[in-house]
Structure 1
Amino acid sequence: MGENMINESQKFLNFLKKKRKAVSFLFAVTLLLYLPMLTNFSYSIDSEAVVDNSKDLLFSWLTIDRFGLVALKKFFLFGLDLNPYFINTLTYLLMAFSAVILLYIIDQLIQTTPWIPLLAVTLYLVSPIHFEQNSFVLQSVEVMIGFNLMFVGMIALGMPGNKVSPKRLIFGMLFLTASFSIYPSIVIGASTLAIIILHLHELNKPFATFSVYFRHLVRYIALILSSLLTYVALDQIIKYFAHAPKNSYIQTAWGHMDTSLLMQIALAKFKQFFIFPNQPFELSVVTYLAVVTFALVLIMGLIRKQIRWTILLDIIAEYILVLSLLILLGNMIGPIRSLTPTVPLVMIVYSLTVMTMMPNKRLLLVVGMSFSIFALMLSKTTSDLEQSFIISYENEVKFSDKIVTSVQELGINNFDQYRLVAGELGNIPAT
C-alpha cells in the first residue's frame, strides 16, 4: 500500500518534536540575521508600480509566465496599503520554515552526527543570494511560498525506495506545478533537489546497481517534466483567455549571435562569476567546493577500492544545474536572485558530502570549523547587503523629500498639474 500524506505529516510532526532544538536554532538564526529587514519599512524594485497601478504590474507578470505569482499577489493586496513590515515578516518566517523542511528531507536520507546537517542547512539560510531575492518585496512572500511548495512537492513524490500512492504522486506534481507558476526558475531548483535526494541516499545506502540508480533518476525526471508540461499548458491557456502577449523578459542569445563569439562571452562570464573570487555572492566557492567534493569522493573510493561512480555523476549534474542559466542564455547568468534556491541547495549537498566522508573525528572537527567560519562570512555579507539596502532607501527618501520641499518653496502645491523632469545642465545637477 502506498504511503499517504497523512502518514508523512505525522512523521514531520514527530521530526519537529525530536529536532525542536535544531528547529529553534534555524528560526533564531533567521531572526538575528534578518532583524534589520523585519523592523524596516522600505520599498524596493517596482514598488511604486503596485501602489499606483497594480493592474498593469500584475498583467506584466502574466506575460512572463507567472500566473501563480499573480494569483498570490492579488490575495496579498487585500487591506489598506502595501505593507513592507507584514511582507518581510512573513517572508523570513517562510524562509526559516523552508530550511526546516530541508533539514527534514536530509533527516530522512542520512544518519549522521546531528550538527552536520544543521550546519549544512545553516549555509542555505544565510546565503546572500536569498537576500537578493527577498529584498524584492513585491514578490518575496510569494517566491518563498513557491520554495516551500516545491520542497513539499518533492517530499510527496517520495524518497528512493519508498512506495507512494498515486494520489500522493498527483498531490506532489500539483505542488510542483504551483511552484513553477510562481517563479519559473524553481524548475531548476526542483531538478537540483531531485539529484540531491539521490546523492544523499547514496551517501547513506548506495544503490545496488547503476540500473537501480538510473531507474530512480528517470522517475524523478518524468514526474518533474510532467509537472513542467502541466504548468506550460495552464500558462498558455490562461494567457490566451487573458489576451496576454508573449514577453521576451529573458531571452537566450543562442541563435541570435555568432556562435564562436557567444562561446567566448559565456566563457568570460563563467570565469568572472564561477572561477575568480567575486563579491558579494561568492559563486566561485561553489566551483571550489565541487572540485574538492569530487576529488574527495574519488580519493576515498580509491582508498576503499570502491569508487561511487553515481555520486560522482551527481556532483557533476549538480554543478551543471548551477551553471544552467548561463548555459541556456549564453551571454549572462540571469538575475542573481534567479540562482536561488539552486546555489544554496548545492552548497548544502557538497558540504554534507565533505563532512560525512571525513575518515576521523579530528578532521571532521577541522572541516566543521571551516564551514562554520564560512557560514559566518556569508552572514556578514548578508548583513552588509541589508544595511546597504536600508541606507540606499533612506537616502532616496531624503532626496525625494528635498525635491518636494524645493517645489513647494516655489509656491507649487498642486503637483497633478506639473511633470517633474530630472537631468543635468553642464556639471550642475537639475532637480
Structure 2
Amino acid sequence: MGENMINESQKFLNFLKKKRKAVSFLFAVTLLLYLPMLTNFSYSIDSEAVVDNSKDLLFSWLTIDRFGLVALKKFFLFGLDLNPYFINTLTYLLMAFSAVILLYIIDQLIQTTPWIPLPAVTLYLVSPIHFEQNSFVLQSVEVMIGFNLMFVGMIALGMPGNKVSPKRLIFGMLFLTASFSIYPSIVIGASTLAIIILHLHELNKPFATFSVYFRHLVRYIALILSSLLTYVALDQIIKYFAHAPKNSYIQTAWGHMDTSLLMQIALAKFKQFFIFPNQPFELSVVTYLAVVTFALVLIMGLIRKQIRWTILLDIIAEYILVLSLLILLGNMIGPIRSLTPTVPLVMIVYSLTVMTMMPNKRLLLVVGMSFSIFALMLSKTTSDLEQSFIISYENEVKFSDKIVTSVQQLGINNFDP
C-alpha cells in the first residue's frame, strides 16, 4: 500500500486527536439513540432462517450477487447461536465509525467554521433509513462493514488534486469491489460520494475550468466502473462454481410494461415519496433541500457575479442518484433500506452547502440550529421505530407462546419436524 497509505493513516490519527470532541459526540449520539437496540434481544425478518437452515439462506444470497455478504456471514456464524446483543453492538459501533470517516472526508475537503460539519454528519447518523437497514439483524453488521469499506476505498482513491500511487488506487478499488459484493446498492452510494467529494472540494476551492472538473469526474467514474466490473466478474465466477442460478430479486419494469403507463406509475411514485410529506422516512425533505440548495447557490452566484455551474451540476447529479432506483425500476423505489447510504449522504452535502453559503454568522447560526432541530426530529422518528420494532417483537413472542401452550394442552409435546 506504500507510503501514501501510511501517510493517510497518520493524517486520520491526527484528525482523531484534533477532533476528539466531535468524534466523542458522534459516538455519544449513537449510544443514546440506539441504546434500546443495544440492550434488546429482538430478532427481525427472516432471522429464524439463519438459525434453522443457514446453508440454504447463504446459498440464496449467492443467487442475488452477494458473495461478500456470504463470506462475512460465514465468519460471524462462529460461536453457539445467533446473538442479537453482539450483532447490534457491533452494528452501531461500525455505524458511528462510518460517521467519523465521513467527518474526516469533510475535514479534508472544506475549511469552514469548526462546528458546521457536525450537524450535517449527525443527520446521517440519526436517519430512520439506517434503522430500517440495521433492524435486519441477519445482515446489519455486514452491511455496515460494507459502508466503511466503501468510505475507506473512496479515501484511498484520493481527493481531487492529490497524487496517489498505483498501489493505493488498487487498494481503493479492491475495497470498493468488496463493498459492492456485500450489498450491491452500495454502488449507488459510491457514485454519490464521488460527486459529493467534488462538490465539497468546489465549495472550498473551485476548479479552474470545467475541463479540470470533468477530468476529475471521469477519473472517479472510471475507477468506480472498474471496481464494479471486477465485482461482476468475480460474482459470475463464484456463481458458476457454486452452481447458483440467476435470481430476479429486484427486476426492472422497463420493457415489461407499456412505457406510457409505466411513466405514469413512476411519476405517481415520485410524488408519493419525494414530493408529498411522508412518514416515517421523510424522503420529500431531500427534494425540498435540493431546491433550496440549488436556488441558494444560483442566487449567491448572481450576487457575487460568479455562478458556480459545476456545483449546480453536482446538486442535480446527487438528486438524480437519490432517484436512481426509481428511475431504474420504473414502478417502485425498491426496499427503503436500499436508499442508504445514498439519501443520508445527500442530506449531508446539501446541508453543508446551505450552511457554507450563509453570508453572515447570525444567519449561519439560525440555519445551523434549524438543521440541528431537524436532526432531533429524525432522532425522535428513529426512536419511535425502535420502540415499535421492540413492541412488535414482544407481541409476536407472546402470541407464539400462546400457540405453543394451546398445542401442549392438547397433549402434543413433540415439535420436531
TM-score between the two structures when normalised by the length of structure 2: 0.99
Q: CA deviation at 1:369?
A: 1.0
Q: CA deviation at 1:375?
A: 0.4
Whether the 8 Å CA contact 2:194–2:220 is kept in 1: the answer is yes
Q: CA deviation at 1:206?
A: 0.2
1:122-153: CA deviation from partner (whole Å, max 9, x where unpaired): 00000000000000000000000000000000
Q: CA deviation at 1:45?
A: 1.0
2:182 is matched with: 182
Q: CA deviation at 1:227?
A: 0.1
Whether the 8 Å CA contact 1:2–1:163 is kept in 2: the answer is no
Distance in 1 (CA, whole Å) between partners of 2:242 and 2:158 is 36
1:185-234: CA deviation from partner (whole Å, max 9, x where unpaired): 00000000000000000000000000000000000000000000000000
1:31-66: CA deviation from partner (whole Å, max 9, x where unpaired): 000000000001001111100000000000000000
* SS of equivalent to 1:331: coil
* SS of equivalent to 1:115: coil
Number of residues of Structure 1 aligned to a counterpart in Structure 2: 416
Distance in 2 (CA, whole Å) between partners of 1:368 and 1:89 is 30
1:302 is matched with: 302
Distance in 2 (CA, whole Å) between partners of 1:127 and 1:314 is 22
Distance in 1 (CA, whole Å) between partners of 2:196 and 2:152 is 15
Distance in 1 (CA, whole Å) between partners of 2:334 and 2:303 is 41
1:285 is matched with: 285
2:271 aligned with 1:271: yes
Whether the 8 Å CA contact 2:109–2:201 is kept in 1: the answer is yes
Distance in 2 (CA, whole Å) between partners of 1:16 and 1:113 is 18
Distance in 1 (CA, whole Å) between partners of 2:3 and 2:347 is 30
1:253-274: CA deviation from partner (whole Å, max 9, x where unpaired): 0000000000000000000000
Distance in 2 (CA, whole Å) between partners of 1:357 and 1:2 is 38
Whether the 8 Å CA contact 1:195–1:217 is kept in 2: the answer is yes
* SS of equivalent to 2:2: coil
Distance in 2 (CA, whole Å) between partners of 1:45 and 1:73 is 16
Distance in 2 (CA, whole Å) between partners of 1:216 and 1:22 is 30
Distance in 2 (CA, whole Å) between partners of 1:309 and 1:146 is 33
Distance in 2 (CA, whole Å) between partners of 1:172 and 1:329 is 29
In the alignment, structure 1 segments of 5+ residues that lack a partner are: 417-431
Question: What is the aligned-residue identity percentage?
Answer: 100
Distance in 2 (CA, whole Å) between partners of 1:415 and 1:297 is 65
Q: How much is the aligned-residue C-alpha RMSD, in angstroms? A: 0.9
TM-score between the two structures when normalised by the length of structure 1: 0.96
Distance in 2 (CA, whole Å) between partners of 1:249 and 1:50 is 19
Deviates more, 1:111-120 or 1:322-331: 111-120
In the alignment, structure 2 segments of 5+ residues that lack a partner are: none
Whether the 8 Å CA contact 1:61–1:67 is kept in 2: the answer is yes
* SS of equivalent to 1:138: coil
1:211 is matched with: 211
Whether the 8 Å CA contact 1:3–1:163 is kept in 2: the answer is no
Whether the 8 Å CA contact 1:152–1:175 is kept in 2: the answer is yes
1:160 is matched with: 160
Q: CA deviation at 1:29?
A: 0.1
Whether the 8 Å CA contact 1:23–1:100 is kept in 2: the answer is yes
Distance in 1 (CA, whole Å) between partners of 2:113 and 2:215 is 30
Whether the 8 Å CA contact 1:2–1:164 is kept in 2: the answer is no
Distance in 1 (CA, whole Å) between partners of 2:169 and 2:77 is 32
Distance in 2 (CA, whole Å) between partners of 1:162 and 1:415 is 64
Distance in 2 (CA, whole Å) between partners of 1:414 and 1:383 is 40
